[in-house]
Structure formats: structure tokens, C-alpha cells
Amino acid sequence: MPRPGRDSYGDQKPPYSYIALTAMAIQSSPDKMMSLSEIYKYIMDRFPFYRKNTQRWQNSLRHNLSFNDCFMKVPRRADRPGKGSLWTLHPTCGQMFENGSFLRRRKRFKVAGCDEEHDAEFTRPFVSEDSPHQGIRRYGPAHVSPSAAEHAFLGMSKHHHAMIDTNKIAAMIQPNIMAAAGPWIAQQSHSPNGVPFLPRPGFAMPPPHALAASAYFRSAIAEYQAALAGSILAKHRQQVSPTQVHPISALTMLPAANASMMTLPHLSAIKSLAQASEARDAIVKHNLLNNRRLNMQHEVQDLTIGKRREKEEDKKMKKSTVSFSIDNIMKGSFSKEADSTQKDTCHGSNNTPSSESTSPRKNYATEKRSKKRSLSPDSTTSTPKRMNMEEDRRHSAFSGTNVMHGEQAFDFRDIWSQNKPTNQINEIASISPDAKQVSSALENLYRYAAHACNRMQLEKSYRENTTLPISHSSFSSTSTMEECSPKPFPSSPKEQPTSSSSEDDSPMSYRRINSDEKRKRTRGMDSSGKDNPMASTSDSESANSRETEHYYQTKSRSLPENSLFKAETTSPVSTMIAA
DNA sequence: CATTGTTTACAAGCTT
DNA sequence: AAGCTTGTAAACAATG
Ligand SMILES: [Mg+2]
């Protein structure tokens, strides 16, 4: 039921950034091109929030269009006369948003070499007068072989001279992979006339928050593993042939680290997620490439690079630390080479740290932006611009790392501090210099979990409280909508007898961890013997089904004070794994 | 003159 | 704490 809706919530800020909104708009167009005014319209049509303060956000939007390399101008064609040009997405920014979920962007999309020539490469097929190869093909970045990941994934099985029971692991991972590669991947993920990607009945695709969550984990996991295997793997790779070694299988080659590593929390969940992600990514990537069909003509003007960009470019050229992300490892391109240009010169940047920010981080910080100001003279820096800070009602797309559980909000930092596996970290420290990285990588994992959960809740709230203007004028409307809905996707079969199943899933070693004295950390024995950390994995499957409902239903678990994460984790992690 | 685009500055949330 | 990403405000240039 659409619920009373009414205005009250209609103006909530959508959890999408301008870049996301713009990308959504552009992608919704059949041509994948839109004029500025059309973009405005698209946004205003489906996000009530943006029907106000138009000057403000439209200015921001324009800024984004010009500033970000992912958006490029294309001259209008004769059939669409009008004021400005059309905007489109850069041919290679396809993966800018993980899994097509606009909830989060991976990294700022930067046009590679920043050289015209290089860019021209993309520009050509884009503009092509005669489109040599008709549509498809030749759009993807050449180096991104869609099958690379897949290949590596498939080939991993032959790489384990395991000292670990890989079979067992594989066994429990299998189902996840299958799920990950499910049919939804190929589905059109853009609602024809509603807010893109917001799940709705009949929409054969996992909820966006699930995808986003999975994405979060994926990166966190990559680091986590890399921190452990990184150096060894690197060495190994440098000497041995450039054969692709799947990071996961690489882990099994680690003699020393193995033992300790296996005792870290969430390891099995991590593994399955990582693999599922790889498999899924390969497919998604492939689809993205094939679906991209751009047919435009005319020239594309060169992009000029402003000072701000130059500065960024320069700064970027510093000594890069080898990155062992899964992506890099998969591509076999980790030591990104580096060196070069000790920039110096530019340093005068004295951004007055001013505020003593870092204030206490109260749970559930409300909005309340800075409002200080008032420093009287301030004549120093001449430019008096930016005066009415008071009224600065900017809204941010950032969502924070609070996790609502029941009526309470928990800050990620608290969750982490109470779950940090100190002893295990120390154990690793004794055999590897990477302990610190392992720790921070794991911390990130938790952070992402919290952050992802936060987003999920945010979006859920938005979805529930906003009456979407379905079938809103201009666009195709109902008809399309209708055809969409009838086809119900199995919609979570409710079965799944609760968390039970897990037991064996949860791998080895947890018990033993607990042995570590200090570690016991109370934790009340709530679930008692039940190994805690993996709890998440286990119920995941079940939770997966009714997921949405889950979050706010507080009752069931009264969290025993200490078991913050346990309680929290249950929701985010399980939902994530669902993807 | 109103839009459409570019750029520079800054503040503040988030990540490393 | 340094560095990166977003959201805003503004000054201007270019167009129609
Ligand atoms: Mg641009």
C-alpha cells in the first residue's frame, strides 16, 4: 500500500548523489544522451525533494556535469534542436557504480591519460561518422577482458595445493556462487518510469542495497586478504610466471599465515562473498559491455583541463604504494609502477583546520551542520565571499556509519572497538609484518558493514516514506509498469528454517579463538556456545528471504549490551551475503 | 537576458 | 592527520 504518503515525507532527500542522479537520468534515455533541461526534469519528476531550491541544486548539478570526466558533452543532432548540447556518460565509466546500484560510487572516474589523444580513442567510436562496426563491440576498454575475472575464477580450482580443506570451503561456497550468478543479472535494471533500481514487486533483481552491500564487502575483503597475502603473493608473482592466480587460492598457499588467518572472524563469509562477487562481476561486466550501444554522430569537443584538475593530476603522481586489491591481482597489475616526479613546489595550502571538529561522536548525530562563523575581522584572506554560512542548508549524500538496531543507533566505532580481535591480530603480528594492515583491513570490513547497513536503512526509509510519482507524465508510464510487475520473481520463498543450518558452515577454528583468554570479553553467553562471529553467515541465507522486513523488527533479539556487533551484524552481513 | 557551461574556493563527511 | 569525494556558492564566458 502506497501508504498515506502525503507531503510530510515526500521531500526527503534521496540517498543518491548528483552524479548518481545524473547518471540515472542519462541512462534512462533511449539514446543515453540528455540535455540539461531534460536531466532537470527527470530528477524533478521523480524526486519531490528536488522541486524546491532549484537554483541551488541545479547549479550544483551543472558543476558536476562540467567537472566530472564521466560526463561529456555531445553536440545536438539536427533532430533535436535546442539550447545547450547533450550530455552523455563517458564510454568507459560503465562500472562507475558498482553493480549498477547508484547507491555508491567506487572511485572518482577520471579519464585515463588525460591526454587528448587517449581520449580521442573513446571519442572516435562515439562520434564516428560511419560507425565502422555498427553499434556494439569496440566500446569497452580494450584491456578489460570481460572474461578475465571469470577465467581466473574458474581456474582457481586447480591452484590449491591446499594445506586447508579447500573442498569443504568450496562446498559451502558453491551455493552462494550459484545464487550470485542468478538470472537477475541479465535483467534490465532500470525501471522505465520509476526511480531506477528501487526494488518493487516483479522486479527481477535483488534490492539495490543488497548489491551495494555486497560491493562494500568486496572491497573490504580484497584488502583483508591482500593484507595477509599481499607481500608473499607479490614476491611469488614476480618470480614465477605471470600466471593468474586467484587471490583466494593464493591464500591457501600461505603456510604461516594460514593458521592465524583462519581464525579471524567472518572469514568464510568473506571468502564466499569474494568469490561470488567475482563471478557476478564477470557477468555484469559482460552485460554492460554488450548493452552499451551508442549511436551518435558529430564531433565531441575536446575537454579542457582546468587548474583544479591539473592539481589533482599532479598530486596523483606521487609514489604509489603497491596495491594488492583483488582487482589488481586479477589483472596482474598490482605494482602499479610508480616513482616519478617529486612534485614539490606546491605546498602553500594551509587549509585552516579551524574548528576543533572531531567532536565527540555521539551516536546518531543529527544534522546540524557547522554554524560557527562569527570570527569577526578575518580580513586577512581578503575574499570575503561566502558570507551567509548560517543559512547554508547544504545536504550531503554521505550517510554515516550508524546502524539502527531497534530504536537505538550504534556507531561503527563502538562496534569495532568491541569486536576487535586483538589477540589474533597479535598472533599474526608475530609471524607477519602485515598485522597492522590486517587489522585495519578488518576494521574496514566492519566499517563497511555498518556503512552499508546504514545505507540500506536509509534507502528503506526513503522508499517507505516517499510516495513515488509512478507513471508520472512525460515518460512511458503505466503500460510499461504493468508489464513489469506481473512477472513476479519467485519472491523469497519463506521457508528457510531459521539460522539452524549454519553450524557446520561456520568453519573451523572459532572455538579455538575463544580460548584466548582476554578475548572472552564477556559477551554474555547470549547465544552461548554458538560461535559468534559466523552467526552472520549462517542466517544469511534465511535472512535473505525476508530481509527487508528484518531491520526494524526489534523485538526478537534483545541485545545484551555487549553483543553489539553480533546483533548488528546479523542484519547487514546476512543481507549482503544474499547478493 | 536567460540558459548553459567552466572554474575556483571551501566546508565537511569519509577513507587511509 | 592527510587525502579524497560531495555539496554549495560564485564569478564568468558562451550561446541563442
Ligand atoms: Mg565533464
Q: Give the CA-trace dihedral at A568, A570, A571, A577, to 10 degrees.
A: 130
All three cell numbers of A242, joined, read 605471470
A25 touches strand B (CB under 7 A): no
Instruction: Look at residues A453, A148, A491, A172 and name the one whose alpha carbon lies nearest to residue A326.
Output: A148
Number of domains chain A is built from: 2
Distance A389 CA to C10 C1' (A): 14
Residues in A 309-328 whose C-beta is less than 7 A from nucleic strand B are: 309
A398 touches strand C (CB under 7 A): yes
Distance A35 CA to C15 C1' (A): 15
Nucleotides of B under 7 A from a protein CB: 3-16
Residue A300 lies in a domain: yes
For residue A409, the cross-strand partners are: A404
Rounded CA-CA distance A196/A97 in Å is 13
Nucleotides of C under 7 A from a protein CB: 1-11, 15-16
Residue A79 lies in a domain: yes
Distance A106 CA to B1 C1' (A): 41
Residues in A 509-528 whose C-beta is less than 7 A from nucleic strand C are: none
Residues in A 439-478 whose C-beta is less than 7 A from nucleic strand B are: 440, 444, 447-448, 451
A387 touches strand C (CB under 7 A): yes
C-alpha A563 chain-centroid distance: 27
Residue A90 lies in a domain: yes
A73 touches strand B (CB under 7 A): yes
Distance A191 CA to C12 C1' (A): 39
Q: Are A275 and A225 in contact (CB under 8 A)?
A: no
**Boundary (domain end) residue, out of A68, A99, A130:** A99
| Neighbour tally for A354: CB within 10 Å | 9
Q: Are A209 and A463 in contact (CB under 8 A)?
A: no
DSSP line for A86-114: EEEE-TT-TTSBGGG-TT-BSS----SS-
Q: Are A75 and A297 in contact (CB under 8 A)?
A: no
Report the separation in Å between the CA atom of A304 and the middle of ligand 1, taken as the mean of its atom positions: 9
A8 touches strand C (CB under 7 A): no
Distance A334 CA to B5 C1' (A): 38
Report the separation in Å between the CA atom of A121 and the middle of ligand 1, taken as the mean of its atom positions: 16
CATH number at residue A83: 1.10.10.10
Per-residue pLDDT of chain A (579 residues; tens, 9 = 90+): 444 333 334 678 888 889 989 999 998 988 889 999 999 999 999 899 999 999 999 999 999 999 998 898 888 876 778 899 999 888 777 667 755 566 666 667 776 544 443 443 333 323 322 222 222 222 222 222 222 222 222 222 222 212 222 232 222 222 232 233 222 222 233 333 333 333 222 222 333 334 444 444 554 555 555 555 544 444 444 444 434 444 334 333 433 334 444 444 444 444 444 444 444 444 434 433 333 322 222 223 233 334 455 554 444 443 222 222 222 222 222 222 222 222 222 232 233 222 222 222 222 222 222 222 333 333 333 333 344 444 445 666 666 677 776 676 777 777 777 767 777 777 767 766 666 766 776 776 677 666 666 766 777 777 776 655 443 333 332 223 322 222 222 222 222 222 222 222 222 222 222 222 222 232 322 222 223 332 333 222 222 222 222 222 222 222 222 223 333 334 444 443 333
What pLDDT was estimated at residue A112? 58
How many angstroms separate the Cα of A89 from the Cα of each of A18, A26, A321?
A: 14, 7, 30
What pLDDT was estimated at residue A330? 25
pLDDT in tens, A533-567: 323 332 222 222 222 222 222 222 222 222 233 33
What pLDDT was estimated at residue A532? 31
Residue A301 lies in a domain: yes
Report the separation in Å between the CA atom of A87 and the middle of ligand 1, taken as the mean of its atom positions: 9
How many angstroms separate the Cα of A409 from the Cα of each of A322, A333, A400, A560, A564?
A: 37, 41, 11, 15, 10
Rounded CA-CA distance A41/A474 in Å is 9
Residue A245 lies in a domain: no
What pLDDT was estimated at residue A45? 92
Q: What was the ipTM of the complex prediction?
A: 0.98
**Boundary (domain end) residue, out of A99, A120, A153:** A99
Residue A73 lies in a domain: yes
Residue A473 lies in a domain: no
The sign of the dihedral angle between the CA atoms of A460, A466, A467, A469 is negative
Residue A334 lies in a domain: no
- Please tell me which residue lies nearest to nucleotide B8, judged from CA to C1': A308
Report the separation in Å between the CA atom of A456 and the middle of ligand 1, taken as the mean of its atom positions: 30
A57 touches strand C (CB under 7 A): yes
pTM, 2 dp? 0.49
For residue A35, the cross-strand partners are: A86
**Boundary (domain end) residue, out of A291, A322, A353:** A322
What pLDDT was estimated at residue A81? 80
Report the separation in Å between the CA atom of A89 and the middle of ligand 1, taken as the mean of its atom positions: 9
What pLDDT was estimated at residue A60? 97
A315 touches strand C (CB under 7 A): yes
Report the separation in Å between the CA atom of A433 and the middle of ligand 1, taken as the mean of its atom positions: 43
pLDDT in tens, A321-339: 222 222 222 222 222 222 2
Q: Which nucleotide is nearest to A396 (CA to C1')?
A: C7
What pLDDT was estimated at residue A10? 64
How many angstroms separate the Cα of A441 from the Cα of each of A2, A226, A549?
A: 42, 9, 30
What pLDDT was estimated at residue A456? 65
CA atoms within 13 A on the CB side of A547: 26
C-alpha A227 chain-centroid distance: 20
A398 touches strand B (CB under 7 A): yes
Distance A60 CA to C9 C1' (A): 9
Instruction: Look at residues A276, A249, A281, A273 and name the one whose alpha carbon lies nearest to residue A177.
Output: A276
Containing structural domain, residue A24: 18-99
